[in-house]
Amino acid sequence: MANNEDQFKKVISHAKEYGYIFGSSEIYDGLSAVYDYGQQGVELKNNIREYWWRSMVYMHQNIVGIDAAILMHPTTWKASGHVDAFNDPLIDNKDSKKRYRADVLVEDHAEKLENKAKKEIAKAKKRFGDAFDEEQFVTTNPRVLKYRAEKQEILDRMARLLEEEDLAGVKALIEELGIADPVSGSRNWTEVRQFNLMFGTKLGASAESATDLYLRPETAQGIFVNFLNVQKTGRMKIPFGIAQTGKAFRNEIVARQFIFRMREFEQMEMQFFVRPGEEMKWYEYWKETRLNWHLSLGLGEENYRFHDHEKVAHYANAATDIEFNFPFGFKELEGIHSRTDFDLKAHEEYSGKKLQFFDPEMNESYVPYVVETSIGLDRMFLAILSTSLQDETLEDGSVRTVLRLPAILAPVKAAVLPLVKKDGLPEIAHDIIDDLKWDFNVIYDEKDAVGRRYRRQDAAGTPFCITVDHQTKEDQTVTLRNRDTMEQQRIPMSEVAKHIQNSISYKEWLT
């Protein structure tokens, strides 16, 4: 069986081979941590966005959407705290001239201890076979306990140092742990410095009159600054939400793991405005609702877990991540944060405008509290793509590569295949396409033997193939082949649309 690293490499090369993801400006050797979505990728991405949008906006009468600009008044970022505090601690290696995130170097070191613990567990599993009780082993084995305690102690110390902004302490920790540059092996480090992650740009024609702007590092602030516009024009009553999807930009230092951490990426965020004091109720509601949204796609319950933050940012009073089991382990996919009234209050202060809601039931005005759900569209894409890509050994011993994308998200819903390129079969296939194309993204494929075409569509993630053969001319029936089961059904041509429709009903998927 392929290990996780091999599986991840396979996902990356498959994504390119089948037109899902290309490196940005590849002919110029690419741009690090920036990616382009190809002809299949753009469809999958649009479908994920739509699946999220419908679940948020169409399924909740008290949630509406907006599309705010990427460029915003620069004071926005002062108020939000991004100018002063959206930093990563950086360290350079003097010998290799490579730059790293100091906290990631420490995390990677801690992860090595976790790997040692995992090795012990794997060894014991092999030794004891079916009699192995993993829970008992991990809670009693001295080596596993020691590795895990050491790991936790290191992470706790680093979190404390970062919170106290003790950068010299972070460097001392790196030296104490003997962490070496992963490239050169050198331990010759510079001091740790803070580095702001926002991309700056200029507005205006001449250098003298130009204003410094930032590319937004999150979409959320576009929602906060429009809170009153939407509340008033939409006559929204608390509790209500504003949803938005769009590009965000971060000058990530450690940009790696393909589209997991990008410099230009897309977020799907929703700010839910509530009465002060009711935020914890809504926080729990959104935790449950968002997990259910993920589970509705059928990628496997075991692939998700919550990671509740023990220490929360200064503006939050509760925060959790929904983590997903990516090929490189469980990592953050979505954040759910109870952000108090921090953002609206800060914008009130910096803009001098009141951002309050008059609550008729309470007969008073207040700055609402906010519960935020924030998910990276590209990360969701990676979660889906990496879980869906499977190698399946068939009864005859051959292996087929199949991309089991949830049908509702599949870029192409059906491929229409004439068995042969003559006898009027291509014309019938084109007629079928002309009928289906109004409701579904369908494609025509006539190249190669039909078996090879099936495999090609399996690997591309197309849930259905519709084959037109000579019998079609006699009785107007076609073969409908299912990607996942490989079952073939003879059905009347007139029922094809209904079959596809049934498999991609939002009502079925979202409930």
Which residues of the shown chain bind ligand GAP in the complex (CB under 6 A)? 218, 220, 250, 252, 261-262, 265, 267, 269, 332-335, 372, 374-376, 378-379
Residues sharing a CB contact under 8 Å with residue 394, sequence separation 6 or more, in sequence order? 400
User: How far is the C-alpha of 171 from the C-alpha of 90, rounded, in Å?
Assistant: 10
Shortest Cβ 364–ligand GAP spacing (Å): 28
Residue number with CB closer to ligand GAP (103 or 378): 378
Shortest Cβ 406–ligand GAP spacing (Å): 19
Residue number with CB closer to ligand GAP (271 or 388): 271
Residue number with CB closer to ligand GAP (189 or 282): 282
Shortest Cβ 183–ligand GAP spacing (Å): 22
Shortest Cβ 342–ligand GAP spacing (Å): 12
Residue number with CB closer to ligand GAP (265 or 293): 265
Relative to beta strand 414-418, strand 464-468 is parallel
User: How far is the C-alpha of 283 from the C-alpha of 277, rounded, in Å?
Assistant: 11
Residue number with CB closer to ligand GAP (166 or 264): 264
H-run or E-run covering 425: helix 425-436
Shortest Cβ 283–ligand GAP spacing (Å): 14
H-run or E-run covering 196: strand 193-196
Shortest Cβ 262–ligand GAP spacing (Å): 4
**What backbone torsions phi and psi does residue 306 show, to the nearest 5 degrees?**
-85, 140
Would you say 241 and 272 are in contact if contact means Cβ atoms under 8 Å apart? yes
Shortest Cβ 271–ligand GAP spacing (Å): 9
In one-letter notation, the amino acid at residue 508 is E
Select the residue whose beta carbon is closest to ligand GAP and give its number.
376
Shortest Cβ 244–ligand GAP spacing (Å): 10
Closest listed residue to residue 14, CA positions, set 446, 494, 483, 460: 460
Would you say 244 and 222 are in contact if contact means Cβ atoms under 8 Å apart? yes
Residue number with CB closer to ligand GAP (295 or 449): 295
Relative to beta strand 399-403, strand 389-393 is antiparallel
Residue number with CB closer to ligand GAP (381 or 440): 381
Residue number with CB closer to ligand GAP (18 or 326): 326
User: How far is the C-alpha of 40 from the C-alpha of 47, rounded, in Å?
Assistant: 11
- CB-based burial label for 187 (10 Å; 0-12, 13-18, 19+): middle
Shortest Cβ 104–ligand GAP spacing (Å): 13
Shortest Cβ 82–ligand GAP spacing (Å): 10
Edge-to-edge strand ranges of the sheet holding 414-418: 442-444, 414-418, 464-468, 477-482, 488-492
Cβ atoms within 10 A of the Cβ of 444, count? 13
- DSSP state letter for 164: T
Residue number with CB closer to ligand GAP (290 or 404): 290
**Helix/strand number for the chain, H first, E second:** 18, 23
Residue number with CB closer to ligand GAP (268 or 442): 268
Shortest Cβ 457–ligand GAP spacing (Å): 29
Residue number with CB closer to ligand GAP (100 or 265): 265
Shortest Cβ 231–ligand GAP spacing (Å): 20
Shortest Cβ 67–ligand GAP spacing (Å): 16
Would you say 390 and 269 are in contact if contact means Cβ atoms under 8 Å apart? no
User: How far is the C-alpha of 17 from the C-alpha of 298, rounded, in Å?
Assistant: 25
User: How far is the C-alpha of 480 from the C-alpha of 487, rounded, in Å?
Assistant: 8
Supply angle C-alpha 41, 43, 47, rounded to 5: 115
Cβ atoms within 10 A of the Cβ of 414, count? 28
Cβ atoms within 10 A of the Cβ of 142, count? 8
Residue number with CB closer to ligand GAP (202 or 311): 311
User: How far is the C-alpha of 425 from the C-alpha of 429, rounded, in Å?
Assistant: 6
Residue number with CB closer to ligand GAP (216 or 453): 216
Would you say 472 and 408 are in contact if contact means Cβ atoms under 8 Å apart? no
User: How far is the C-alpha of 66 from the C-alpha of 444, rounded, in Å?
Assistant: 36
